[in-house]
Amino acid sequence: MAPSARQKAAEDSKSAVAPGWVLVTGASAGIGRELARAFASKGRNLVLLARSHDTTTELARELIMTKAVNVKTIPADLSVAGAAEAIFEGLTSKGISVDILVNNAGVLFEGEFSSIPLEEHLRLLQINVVALTALTRLFLPLMLQRRGGRILNVASTSAFMPVPRLAAYAAAKAYVLSLTESLSEELRGSGVTATALCPGFTDTSMMRGSRLGKAAPSIMVMSPAAVAEQGCAACLAGETICVPGVANKLIASGTPLMPRALVRGIGGMVISRGWDRIGNAWRAAASPSDKGGGR
Ligand SMILES: NC(=O)c1ccc[n+]([C@@H]2O[C@H](COP(=O)([O-])OP(=O)(O)OC[C@H]3O[C@@H](n4cnc5c(N)ncnc54)[C@H](OP(=O)(O)O)[C@@H]3O)[C@@H](O)[C@H]2O)c1
């Protein structure tokens, strides 16, 4: 008989995550940098991965000085096929046991799907989906052998809805959320847990560089430190989904209850500020062909 959620939580909390290493991808900036700081504050040793080696080296110095933890850096480009395998080989050959894997690195390309160059779509999928999947698949068996470990995958509130002009990004985040939820169930009682962190607008260069971010009402924008603190706590507690912030929680819990046409319309409105889209979406939602969110 499958263990209850309470039994699972009890088993998982018994198997404390060994004080090994936390691998954080995209640790040079934004949410990843703050996740590194949050795990360091819990006394965890860190492997910081990003392309900007100078920045991760500087962060490593800071964490070693202020948090008295061990920190290593890996300069790596996750858009390159085979990067995950090389990272895994490099760390295991040095005897570095990754007990917490934080798949945070991500990119966003904004615009009409047909006007974004194919290379950018493929690059996004390689970083946000393929590398995340590969790192998870590579490190998970070792965690299962040790009967302890944590996986923290950074998704987004866009995982809960289609978002016009961010079509591939939102679809990739839906993949990350679905993968993580499925894994979380598969891992019941194993001592390993999987958590999806689903931030909304967060004040980072990714957000500031996008039209979507610039249009965000300031009340909805969170600091990367606040997002990271909640993500780190949820990961260590073995929670499956962490949506930081009240407004984001409302989005995440409300969208599945709404007609799909309305959800699509809201996504489009947020991006383009085209309030007429909301009106059209309401009308489409009320029409019998799409009522009840069939598609
Ligand atoms: N900001 C938001 O509003 C928001 C909302 C929801 C979800 N998220 C998600 O949160 C995560 C972090 O985003 P952020 O806002 O913190 O973005 P950010 O400030 O742009 O940071 C992105 C990080 O990913 C790394 N990265 C990018 N391309 C890479 C590559 N090819 N190889 C290795 N590392 C790479 C960057 O390092 P280098 O450039 O040095 O390689 C950087 O450390 C992403 O998965 C994003 O989708 C963000």
Structure tokens at 213: 């971010």
Is the pLDDT higher at 292 or at 145? 145
Q: Are 155 and 295 found together in one domain?
A: no
Model pLDDT for residues 258-287, shown as the tens digit of each residue: 998 888 877 777 666 543 455 555 556 556
Give the tens place of pLDDT for each residue, 12-25: 444 455 568 999 99
| Nearest atom (ligand 1) to Cα of 77 | 32
Q: Are residues 186 and 277 in the same domain?
A: no
Q: Which of 160, 169, 175, 201 is catalytic?
A: 169
Ligand 1 geometric centre to CA of 128 (Å) = 9
For residue 137, the model assigns a pLDDT of: 98
Distance (Å, rounded) from C-alpha 121 to C-alpha 6? 41
1 band by pLDDT with thresholds 50, 70 and 90: very low
- Same domain assignment for residues 249 and 271: no
Question: What's the order of all strands across the beta sheet hosting 45-50?
Answer: 71-75, 45-50, 21-25, 98-103, 149-154, 192-197, 241-242
Looking at the structure, tell me whether residues 98 and 15 fall in a common domain. Answer: yes
Structural domain that includes position 293? 258-295
| Residue 58 CB–ligand 1 contact under 6 Å | no
Asked whether the beta carbons of 46 and 22 are under 8 A apart, the reply is yes
pLDDT at residue 281, rounded to an integer? 58
CA distances in angstroms from 25 to 182, 275, 292, listed in the order given: 22, 37, 39
Number of domains in the chain: 2
Q: Quick one: 118 and 187 in the same domain?
A: yes
Q: Are residues 237 and 117 in the same domain?
A: yes
Q: In this structure, are 187 and 114 located in the same domain? A: yes
Please give the C-alpha separations between residue 244 and each of 19, 26, 33, in angstroms, as whole numbers: 26, 19, 17
Residue range 57-94, pLDDT digits in tens? 999 999 999 999 999 999 999 999 999 999 999 999 99
Q: Is the pLDDT of residue 241 over 80?
A: yes
Q: Are residues 163 and 278 in the same domain?
A: no
Q: Which atom of ligand 1 is least distant from the CA of 52?
A: 40
271 and 245 within one domain: no
pLDDT digits (tens, 9 = 90+) for 112-157: 999 999 999 999 999 999 999 999 999 999 999 999 999 999 999 9
Residue 274's pLDDT is what? 45
pTM above 0.85, yes or no: yes
156: domain CATH number?
3.40.50.720
Percent of the chain with pLDDT over 70: 84
Shared-domain flag, residues 218 and 293: no
The CB density around residue 272, as the number of other CB atoms within 10 Å, is 15
Q: How far apart are CA 213 and CA 201, in angstroms?
A: 7
273 and 236 inside one domain:
no
Residue 286, φ and ψ in degrees, nearest 5: -85, -15
Q: Is residue 201 in contact with ligand 1, taking CB distance under 6 Å?
A: yes
Q: 3-class SS at 210?
A: coil
CA distance 168 to 164: 9
To the nearest whole number, what is the mean pLDDT of the chain?
89
32 CB less than 6 Å from ligand 1? yes
Specify whether 217 is located in the same domain as 275: no
